Amino acid sequence: MGIKKHILVIPGDGIGPEVTTWGKAVLEKIGQEYGHEFTFDEGVMGHVAIEATGTSLPDDTLAKAKASDAILFGAVGHIKYDNDPSAKVRPEQGLLKIRKELGLYANLRPIMLFDELLNASSLKPEILKGTDILFFRELTGDVYFGEKNRTANFASDLMNYNRYEVERIARKAYEAARARTKRLCSVDKANVLETSRLWREVIQGIAPEYPDVETEHMFIDNAAMQLVKNPKKFDVVVTANLFGDILTDEASQIAGSMGMLASASVGDGTGFFEPIHGSAHDIAGQNKANPLASILSVALMYEIAFGLKEEAGRITSAVDKTLKAGYRTGDIADANIDKAKILGTAAMGQKVLEYL
């Protein structure tokens, strides 16, 4: 039996629209094959929304998001604001607000390593081979959402966590660890931060509920180092919002490129599926962006939002076949790749559709 779902697409800024086109195409193609029916709506967010409406998350987009079954998101950001610290309205505000409004407190970021990309990383292939990490980044708390203050010569961002916020993401991470190799690493800075001491206390309190899972606690500085020294030692990693933001960009280099990493933001409301990369204005509109993170985000949508593992597996395997056949976008092409097989966004998206 096919499913019927209503999807909101938020292409956003920079390379967002280019990559999202291919995520959506893959969603539809595999849907047709399995008899699923999708209806689509589109919403604006980020710089494009500021230009059109004065705010980065218009009420209309938020209302559409709440009314949809899943959201496919591209990217937000613009250099104009990056170089203007005094800007009061910023593209990123929309993304943070939608995460908060939808209660998307858990951001799942799988570090999936395709064998063909072992040489695309700046790390040694023998260090990388066999790495498979699933990050649980807390997404609606921490210094991202604490009170902000600013005077001419002083600034402060309040870092805070409630016990329940740590508990709910910890449980999600433990459940996932149970279904994998039963190892959970909680990353914090409990030697310095009070929020981290609460974090660690909560994890220690929950650990006995999962006696089959081995729990390890690691400081963020050490984790950042271990991740490049011996990434295989990690399986499920659970961490706070800011630490998770930073660690997963670092971890993307294990997978070869930011252009490969998909993510799923879940919690109370509609699931939100987003590549971890940003708007990449330097290559926007040039048909150079890697569409695979958006396509793999759609695989996560099938698996997590709709519980359809087979369809998800088909998408991942189409990406794998595309890479095995030697096709690459510029960001994942190592020196040994046949120049003729280095493709633009559209041709790469098309190849995945073919292998589907």
- For residue 60, indicate whether it is catalytic: no
Kindly state whether residue 116 participates in binding ligand IPM, applying the rule CB under 6 A. Answer: no
Element (H, E) at 156: strand 154-157
Kindly state whether residue 245 participates in binding ligand IPM, applying the rule CB under 6 A. Answer: yes
Q: State the helix-helix crossing angle for 345-355 and 16-33, rounded to 10 degrees.
A: 10
Amino acid letter at 185? C
Q: Which two tokens stand for residue 2?
A: 């096919």
Kindly state whether residue 157 participates in binding Mg ion, applying the rule CB under 5 A. Answer: no
- Please identify, using beta-carbon distances, which residue of 95 and 227 lies nearer to ligand IPM: 95
- Give the strand pairing for 37-42 and 214-219: unpaired
Beta bridge partners of 149: 156
Size of the site for ligand IPM (CB under 6 A): 7
- For residue 245, indicate whether it is catalytic: yes
- Please identify, using beta-carbon distances, which residue of 214 and 245 lies nearer to Mg ion: 245
Q: Select the span of 83-91, 155-163, 237-245, 293-301 touching Mg ion (CB under 5 A).
A: 237-245
> Among residues 132, 157, 216, 245, which is the contact residue for Mg ion, using CB under 5 A?
245
Amino acid letter at 46? G
Q: Out of 172, 189, 288, 351, which one is annotated catalytic? A: 189
Determine the Cα–Cα distance for residues 348 and 299; give it in Å rounded to an integer: 17
Size of the site for Mg ion (CB under 5 A): 1
Among Mg ion, ligand IPM, none, what binds residue 18 when CB lies within 5 to 8 Å by partner kind?
A: none
Among Mg ion, ligand IPM, none, what binds residue 176 when CB lies within 5 to 8 Å by partner kind?
A: none
- For residue 144, indicate whether it is catalytic: yes
Gyration radius of the chain's alpha carbons:
20
List binders of Mg ion among 6-65 (CB under 5 A): none
Torsion of CA 92, 97, 99, 105, to 10 degrees: 110
- For residue 324, indicate whether it is catalytic: no
Q: CB of residue 16 vs Mg ion: minimum separation in angstroms?
A: 14
**Residues in Cβ contact with 352 at an 8 Å cutoff, skipping those fewer than 6 apart:** 22, 26, 291, 292, 295, 318, 319, 322
Kindly state whether residue 276 participates in binding ligand IPM, applying the rule CB under 6 A. Answer: yes
Q: Select the span of 73-81, 157-165, 206-214, 245-253 touching Mg ion (CB under 5 A).
A: 245-253
- Please identify, using beta-carbon distances, which residue of 92 and 188 lies nearer to ligand IPM: 92
Q: CB of residue 241 vs Mg ion: minimum separation in angstroms?
A: 10
What is the biggest distance separating any 2 CA atoms in the chain, rounded to whole angstroms? 62
171 in Cβ contact with 163 (< 8 Å): no
DSSP category for residue 152:
T
- Please identify, using beta-carbon distances, which residue of 76 and 187 lies nearer to ligand IPM: 76
List binders of ligand IPM among 76-115 (CB under 6 A): 76-77, 92, 95
Determine the Cα–Cα distance for residues 165 and 91; give it in Å rounded to an integer: 26
Q: Could you write out the DSSP letters of every residue in 72-105? A: EEEE---HHHHT-TT-SS-HHHHHHHHHHHTT--
213 in Cβ contact with 185 (< 8 Å): no
Kindly state whether residue 260 participates in binding ligand IPM, applying the rule CB under 6 A. Answer: no
Kindly state whether residue 261 participates in binding ligand IPM, applying the rule CB under 6 A. Answer: no
Binding residues vs Mg ion (CB under 5 A): 245
Binding residues vs ligand IPM (CB under 6 A): 76-77, 92, 95, 245, 276, 278
- Active-site annotation, residues: 144, 189, 221, 245, 249
